[in-house]
Amino acid sequence: MVDKVLTANRLADGIAVWLDAGGEWTTSLQDALVARHAEAVSALEDIGKKAYADNKVVDVNVVEVQETEGILWPLRLRERIRAQGPTMVYAKGYAPADPEFIAV
Amino acid sequence: MYRYDEFDHAFVAERVAQFRDQVERRLSGELSEDAFKPLRLMNGVYLQLHAYMLRIAIPYGTLNSKQMRMLAHVARTYDRGYGHFTTRQNLQFNWPKLSDMSDVLAELASVEMHAIQTSGNCIRNVTADHFAGAAADEVADPRPYAEILRQWSSVHPEFSFLPRKFKIAVTGAERDRAAIQVHDIGLHLKKNDKGEIGFAVYVGGGQGRTPMVAKLIREFLPEEDLLSYTTAVMRVYNLHGRRDNKYKARIKILVHETGAEELARQVEVEFAQLRDTELKLPEADVAAISAYFAPPALAERAEGWESLARWKKADPDFARWVQQNVQPHKNPDYGMVTISLKPIGGIPGDATDSQMDAVADIAEEYALDEIRVSHEQNLILPHVALADLEPVYRALVAHGLATANAGLITDIIACPGLDYCALANARSIPVAQEISSRFGSPERQEEIGELKIKISGCINACGHHHVGHIGLLGVEKKGAELYQITLGGSGDEHTSIGEIIGRGFEPNKVTDAIETIVDTYLGLRLDKAETFLAAYRRVGPQPFKDALYGGSTAEAA
């Protein structure tokens, strides 16, 4: 089974977040709790539904990741960009995504 | 430009207060996302990949310095120090917090701006020729009519829940700079044999997954019938437009399925009921609105001719900028200046807070306080004396705003694409940046001449790729980005939809493919006066297919 993490956007500011092992929403994909079997994925989905219903987050999704040497890497480009932000220099003081992380 | 009256101020203020209450109830959990989403969309608030996005209406792309400074202030205070000017003459902020949104809207309301009807299935921001009121080739200023349509369509109870979104564009010149034939309704202001003002009415144009060129359904609609006829079109669409399938819900599909002739007949039936009602435009009302857009009193500045010649001789970069970015004005002592938001290798349409402030300062000092946003994602100073072009240029250079590329290959339209957009399948901005860098040399651009590249990151076509001389559509194939190339599109008075040239290209091969297309054009054009589009229309796709794919088949990806 492909590993999965739970992601969403925070209600108050819309920033992309991932669920960590402590049950908190973190802005770093690398801190996300990884579900490695069907029961764990199901648990993530339940947590996501509850967080949505509790108005903590919006646009909740379980997304596929691959773990290589301790680095979580979403399989879809869309999710890699969500994790690291725009891929070009776009604003003073904000780093663009790492090209190596974004590359297929 | 139009100024809010008491009613407008009260209406926008009430709307801000209403949305503040809705946001507070959402943040407290009283309102669910399902209940809140349509409310936020009515106020221009989207949720994108990384954050919320706020789309602010700039009616027919016209704004003054005070408003531009407010946009800079919002960028600095509530966002990440920049904004993105769009192909619908609007501005988008990519990072505002929901919890700040009501404050942002209140600040905007203080300078007569809002975000109402920048989303949803309603009549969106009415767009117009960005040179309106200044262009030498204009029959009449389209902005009064765009403003009349804006007032009529704002929270219009009958047209707030249409089958799908609805876009109207108005142009006042034979040369169509507003792309009216790819709008739901396109209005071409013209005069009849008696010298009376009226409109040629086009209906059913659009891009997206089913691109269509609009059909002319009225050769000449008298000015007084603008609202009654438009209402008639809307009623036919509202009644018969498809609500069963989102992808077939735009009026272009209705026009296509019904036939333009039959649709025109249905519109005429409705129109006959409406034309002598309160919708008939009284002359006094047209005059009152037109007064807001009266041509500015332009002082005689004949000294500019001599100065301009001298400055151009002394500075080739300035001369190139004048050649490319300054267009003839109605008044020969003046010019219309395009401020390129396409720096070489930069992000099309983006401007920082300090650049917005700089444009506001320049407009106030040299351009009668008027600024426009073009659908090609540039800014315009419509009234600049030739005698002031040199100081304007120096001020623009100081802020990285003097790229001399209006209408050239690096003046690329690109949607936000997968770097921001929740709907996108592929990135647009990095592709535009790489093409811009490859062709960035001024001499090379000048040699190539007019060439419009337009890039969309998904089939919704916000980057207008269907009407690019060269269009690029990003798709996702087997988990990777791929770019389809279309050739021969155009969004002017001879609108055409580009043809897919063959199979798509991986991101690292797109710029090479563009270069092959450009080199092919340079090799076959009759002379330098034959533009890329003219050459393509003369020779068709085959030479370009041969150059791109050789003997291999070029089936579309």
Q: Alpha-carbon distance B109 to A68, whole Å?
A: 50
Query: Residue B52's closest chain A neighbor by CA?
Result: A14
Q: Alpha-carbon distance A21 to A27, whole Å?
A: 13
Assess if residue A82 is contained within a domain. Answer: no
Assess if residue A26 is contained within a domain. Answer: yes
Q: Name the average pLDDT for chain B.
A: 97
CB contact under 8 A, B98 and A93: no
What pLDDT, in 10s, does the model give residues B471-504?
Answer: 999 999 998 999 999 999 999 999 999 999 999 9
Coil, helix or strand at residue B515: helix
CATH number for region B6-109 = 3.90.480.20
Asked whether residue A1 carries a pLDDT value surpassing 90, the answer given is no
CB contact under 8 A, B97 and A13: yes
Distances in Å between the Cα of B117 and the Cα atoms of B75, B83, B160 are: 21, 19, 9
Whether the domain at B134-292 and the domain at B422-549 fall into the same CATH topology: yes
Mean pLDDT of all residues in B253-265: 98
pLDDT of residue B556: 52
CB contact under 8 A, A86 and B33: no
What residue ranges do the domains of chain B occupy?
6-109, 134-292, 303-398, 422-549
**CATH fold for domain B303-398:** Sulfite Reductase Hemoprotein; domain 2 (3.90.480)
Assess if residue A104 is contained within a domain. Answer: no
Asked whether residue B557 carries a pLDDT value surpassing 60, the answer given is no
Q: How many CB atoms lie within 10 A of CB B414?
A: 32
Q: How many angstroms away from the CA of A6 is the closest CA of chain B?
A: 15
For B:423-462, CB contacts with A below 8 A are: 424, 427, 429-430, 433
What pLDDT, in 10s, does the model give residues B197-251?
Answer: 999 999 999 999 999 999 999 999 999 999 999 999 999 999 999 999 999 999 9
Q: Alpha-carbon distance B396 to B386, whole Å?
A: 15
Q: Which CATH architecture has domain B422-549?
A: 2-Layer Sandwich (3.30)
Q: Point out the residue among A12, A52, A91 whose CB comes nearest to the CB of B98.
A: A12
DSSP state of A46: H
Asked whether residue B554 carries a pLDDT value surpassing 80, the answer given is no
Residues in chain B closer than 8 A to A88 (CB atoms): 347, 419, 429-430, 433
Q: Alpha-carbon distance B239 to B236, whole Å?
A: 5
Is B261 exposed, middle or buried (CB count within 10 Å of its CB: 0-12, 13-18, 19+)? exposed
**Range of the structural domain that residue A35 is part of:** 3-75
> Which of B25, B34, B98 would best serve as a mutation to test chain A binding (most A beta carbons within 10 A)?
B98
Q: Tell me the residue type at B100.
A: D
> Which of B37, B49, B434 would best serve as a mutation to test chain A binding (most A beta carbons within 10 A)?
B49
DSSP state of A95: P
CB contact under 8 A, A92 and B420: no
Q: How many domains does chain A have?
A: 1
Q: Point out the residue among B33, B50, B433 whose CB comes nearest to the CB of A88.
A: B433
Assess if residue A102 is contained within a domain. Answer: no
CB contact under 8 A, A9 and B350: no
Is the Cβ of B550 closer than 8 Å to some Cβ of chain A?
Answer: no
CB contact under 8 A, B479 and A77: yes
Assess if residue A62 is contained within a domain. Answer: yes
Asked whether residue A96 carries a pLDDT value surpassing 60, the answer given is yes
pTM for this model (two decimals): 0.97
Is the Cβ of B27 closer than 8 Å to some Cβ of chain A?
Answer: yes
Q: Point out the residue among A12, A16, A54 whose CB comes nearest to the CB of B50.
A: A16
Q: Which CATH architecture has domain B134-292?
A: 2-Layer Sandwich (3.30)
